[in-house]
Amino acid sequence: MTEVNEAPEGASRGGDGDGAEPLLKLRGIDKHFGPVQALYGVNLDLPAGQVTGLCGDNGAGKSVLTRCIAGAHQPDHGEIFFEGRPVHVRSTRDASALGIETVYQDLALADNLDIVQNMFLGRERLRYGLLDEDSMELQAAETLSTLRVTTVRSIRQPVASLSGGQRQSVAVAKAVMWNSKLVLLDEPTAALGVVQTRSVLDLIKRLRDRGLAVMVISHNLNDVFEVADRIAVLYLGRMVAEGPAANFDRQSVVEYMTTGAANGRPYESAGSASGKG
């Protein structure tokens, strides 16, 4: 019995990555705002080199959870382990120091600044006390080309002149330029056309291939199933399902999102799921 239980767990770990500790591990995260409980004992693993899709209906707690990881909120209870060590993320600066970067839905780009200026905003390089534009431009160009964001005409063009997909790409490139290990993407394909969605999804896959842990928050299940290696579903502040994407199909994810259970049953651990199969 013990052996049987251990083997699938090993298998599920294998599915999680290279069998190592996940890059980020949340255990028992509680968060409330006044009388409103937003998160109840949430557990979540974000392994390196994998894309985790975080799903949930409006108000399920996706944004709150993201903000807890990003340092914008502090959880009331629970533990966050980063690379196996317990950490306290008290601010977005703390998160950046760990290598956690967040791309919010509104992208937070300044339209009047160009791509380079946006990518280095708040972390400008100086030389003799003045902005070192050339070195920043080289670094930004290198990051964009390693991510194969090649559709922009000039990295000195103002962000206002970019298409939605290009803006999203710049925001993502901005997030990964800082040797980040975990990138949180909030609705990266909302408001994008078909072609642009495709290029952003390709970009997300390239982040994974570079060994980054990626969490994608999305309403669009097509996109989630396209890029996600793992899927996690929040329902009314509880993590009702979390596991390899192969354990899910569209129907079950929708049911978890809307009722917290699929086929009338709660999500079973990877071990039981593989036993079921």
Q: Which helix (H) or strand (E) holds 79?
A: strand 77-82
Quick one: 223 or 242, whose CB is closer to other proteins?
Answer: 223
Q: Which of residues 167-196 bind other proteins (CB under 8 A)?
A: 167, 191, 195-196
**Contact status, residue 256 vs residue 267, Cβ threshold 8 Å:** yes
**Segment lying near other proteins (by CB under 8 A), choices 59-67, 139-147, 176-184, 259-267:** 139-147
Q: Tell me if 166 contacts other proteins by CB under 8 A.
A: yes
Q: Which of 101, 53, 96, 69 is nearest to 205 (CA)?
A: 53
Q: Which of 232, 224, 206 is nearest to 150 (CA)?
A: 206
In whole angstroms, the minimum distance from the beta carbon of 168 to other proteins comes to: 10
In whole angstroms, the minimum distance from the beta carbon of 259 to other proteins comes to: 34
Q: Which residues does 161 contact at the CB level (< 8 Å), separation at least 6?
A: none
Quick one: 20 or 131, whose CB is closer to other proteins?
Answer: 131
The residue to which tokens 């950490």 are assigned: 87
Q: Tell me if 199 contacts other proteins by CB under 8 A.
A: yes
Burial class (CB in 10 A: 0-12, 13-18, 19+), 84: exposed
Q: Which of 14, 61, 87, 27 is nearest to 243 (CA)?
A: 14
* DSSP 8-state class, residue 102: E
Torsion angles phi and psi, residue 162, rounded to 5: -90, 155
In whole angstroms, the minimum distance from the beta carbon of 219 to other proteins comes to: 18
Site mask for other proteins (CB under 8 A), range 78-117, x = bound: --------------xx----------x-x-xxxxxx---x
Choice from 3, 36, 85, 153 touching other proteins (CB under 8 A): 153
Choice from 118, 189, 197, 218 touching other proteins (CB under 8 A): 118
Choice from 90, 134, 205, 249 touching other proteins (CB under 8 A): 134
End-to-end distance of the chain based on CA atoms, in angstroms? Answer: 18
Choice from 41, 78, 164, 271 touching other proteins (CB under 8 A): 164
Q: Tell me if 150 contacts other proteins by CB under 8 A.
A: yes
**Contact status, residue 41 vs residue 234, Cβ threshold 8 Å:** no
Q: Which residues does 97 contact at the CB level (< 8 Å), separation at least 6?
A: none
Q: Tell me if 144 contacts other proteins by CB under 8 A.
A: yes
Q: How far apart are CA 53 and CA 155, in angstroms?
A: 30
Q: Tell me if 154 contacts other proteins by CB under 8 A.
A: yes
Q: How far apart are CA 253 and CA 76, in angstroms?
A: 28
Quick one: 6 or 111, whose CB is closer to other proteins?
Answer: 111
Quick one: 7 or 160, whose CB is closer to other proteins?
Answer: 160
Q: Can you give the binding site for other proteins, defined by CB under 8 A?
A: 92-93, 104, 106, 108-113, 117-118, 121-124, 126, 129-131, 134, 137-138, 141, 144-145, 149-158, 160-167, 191, 195-196, 199
